[in-house]
């Protein structure tokens, strides 16, 4: 994968960021910054009320582009047409009750609402207002009308502390990282790559095999690699289900998450989900063994003999069970974490068509694998030479893997 594209996946993509007059407007500066760092060209349009909360200069400092405020200017009467028609995605954050009403009515009385009438790209609206305003029948009717408008998506609002001082309530705008992820998904869908609208299953994290009611056998997997793959696939427009063992990580709300503890639970989840999936990626670090018996209470030290022997039984092969359950011509990707003979053992997983691709990485590398934020992998395909990728952040490794999956799907 091109290194610049890896660092800035939305290079040369145009985003129109509309900012209207609410307290949450300060969060939009972070959104503009994050989108710019990811390569997008961000055109910011502020309403008159928005300028009471944030200044154009703040956005210009983080985007390197002039923030726009006026419908009529010396730049020409067609500026609103260019802003709307050139956008690959549109984000209005915050979207106030007043703005939602004007957009629902088709008004074109400022630069933002006028520009939106020329948009043919996805439009994402992020409402932000007091709970009482959100629950007003007219606001609810406007939101319902906009939800039924082609190309418009209402994102949120969330529940949390509001500006007026309430402890908690509905109407809080989503956080900048959530907004950035949703805009990224819109950009990915607009790109219409091979994963757009595909059904994808990703497994992630460790499994825990109970010894008693407190202790378990497990491993140090954080789940970062699988979570990064799930989010990257979702950003490319895929319909993603993530089956995960215990993990403290999170993913955007648009990803369906199925949680489990043991290998047998994970097997049951994936066998249920796999039949209608177009792509299955098995990144979970599933325990190969489990205690044959589990104590029904916590084992106390004083009750244990001098030597304790734990009888182990093999766990089911989760990936194999899922591949066998796939009913269509799906594409399957396995992972191989190896402490020795890495390529030889990874190639063995390709034999017999069990997987269409295997991603191998070395165990024991302090910069890669369990617990690390970076990874160093080798990608194997049948009939091809192994492709060794450099050490990268796991988010970039996920993008590199999915780039190669998309290429393979396009050639099928």
Does position 1 have pLDDT exceeding 50, yes or no? Answer: no
How far is the CA of 155 from the CAs of 73, 125, 143, 179, in angstroms?
32, 6, 11, 8
Average pLDDT, the chain: 89
Question: Percentage of the chain with pLDDT > 90?
Answer: 65
Does position 6 have pLDDT exceeding 50, yes or no? Answer: no
The single residue of 219, 315, 328, 361 carrying the catalytic annotation is: 219
What's the pLDDT tens digit per position in 235-276? 888 899 999 999 999 888 789 999 999 999 999 999 999 999
Confidence grade of residue 371 (pLDDT, cut at 50, 70, 90): confident
Question: Percentage of the chain with pLDDT > 70?
Answer: 93
What's the pLDDT tens digit per position in 38-80? 889 999 999 999 999 999 999 999 999 999 998 876 555 566 6
Residue linked to tokens 């009888």 = 311
- Which secondary-structure segment (H or E) carries 224? helix 224-235
- 1 Cβ partners below 8 Å, 6+ apart? 396, 399, 400, 403
Task: Please say if 219 is a catalytic residue.
Answer: yes
Q: Where are the alpha helices (DSSP H) in 236-384?
A: 263-273, 318-325, 342-348
How far is the CA of 89 from the CAs of 16, 152, 183, 196, in angstroms?
6, 11, 7, 16
Mean predicted confidence (pLDDT) in 348-353: 78
Which domains are delineated in the chain? 3-190 (3.40.50.1950), 193-411 (3.40.50.10300)
What's the pLDDT tens digit per position in 271-323? 999 999 999 999 999 999 999 988 888 888 777 777 878 899 999 999 999 99
Mean predicted confidence (pLDDT) in 349-368: 85
- 295 Cβ partners below 8 Å, 6+ apart? 211, 212, 213
**Residue 201 corresponds to which tokens in the numbers above?**
């299953």
Q: Which position has the higher pLDDT, 219 or 261?
A: 261
pLDDT score, position 105: 96
């Amino acid at each position: 994968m091109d290194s610049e594209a890896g660092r800035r996946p939305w290079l040369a993509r145009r985003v129109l960021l509309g900012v209207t007059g609410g307290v949450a407007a300060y969060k939009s500066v972070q959104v503009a910054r994050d989108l710019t760092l990811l390569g997008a060209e961000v055109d910011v349009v502020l309403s008159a009320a928005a300028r009471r909360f944030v200044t154009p200069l703040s956005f210009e400092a983080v985007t390197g582009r002039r923030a726009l405020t006026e419908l009529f200017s010396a730049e020409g009467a067609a500026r609103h047409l260019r802003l709307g028609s050139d956008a690959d995605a549109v984000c209005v954050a915050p979207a106030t009750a007043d703005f939602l009403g004007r957009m629902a009515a088709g008004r074109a009385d400022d630069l933002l609402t006028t520009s939106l009438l020329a948009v043919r790209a996805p439009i994402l609206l992020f409402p932000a207002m007091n709970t009482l305003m959100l629950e007003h029948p007219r606001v609810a009717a406007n939101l319902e009308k906009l939800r039924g408008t082609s190309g418009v998506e209402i994102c949120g609002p969330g529940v949390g502390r509001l500006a007026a001082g309430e402890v908690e309530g509905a109407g809080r705008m989503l956080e900048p990282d959530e907004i950035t992820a949703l805009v990224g998904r819109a950009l990915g869908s607009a790109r219409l790559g091979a994963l757009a609208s595909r059904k994808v299953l990703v497994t992630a994290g460790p499994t825990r095999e109970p010894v008693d009611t407190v202790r378990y056998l497990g491993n140090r997997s954080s789940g970062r690699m699988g979570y990064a793959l799930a989010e990257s696939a979702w950003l490319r427009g895929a319909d993603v289900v993530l089956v995960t063992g215990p993990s403290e990580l999170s993913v955007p709300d648009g990803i369906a998450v199925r949680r489990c503890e043991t290998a047998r639970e994970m097997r049951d989840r994936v066998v249920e989900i796999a039949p209608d999936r177009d792509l299955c990626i098995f990144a979970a670090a599933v325990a190969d063994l489990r205690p044959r018996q589990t104590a029904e209470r916590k084992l106390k030290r004083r009750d244990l003999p001098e030597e304790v022997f734990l009888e182990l039984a093999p766990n089911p092969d989760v990936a194999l069970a899922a591949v066998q359950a796939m009913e269509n011509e799906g594409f399957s990707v396995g992972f191989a974490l190896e402490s020795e003979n890495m390529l030889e053992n990874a190639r063995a997983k390709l034999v017999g068509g069990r997987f269409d691709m295997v991603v191998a990485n070395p165990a024991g590398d302090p910069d890669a694998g369990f617990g690390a934020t970076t990874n160093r992998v080798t990608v194997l395909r049948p009939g091809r030479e192994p492709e060794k990728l450099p050490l990268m952040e796991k988010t970039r490794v996920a993008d590199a893997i999915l780039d190669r999956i998309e290429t393979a799907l396009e050639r099928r």
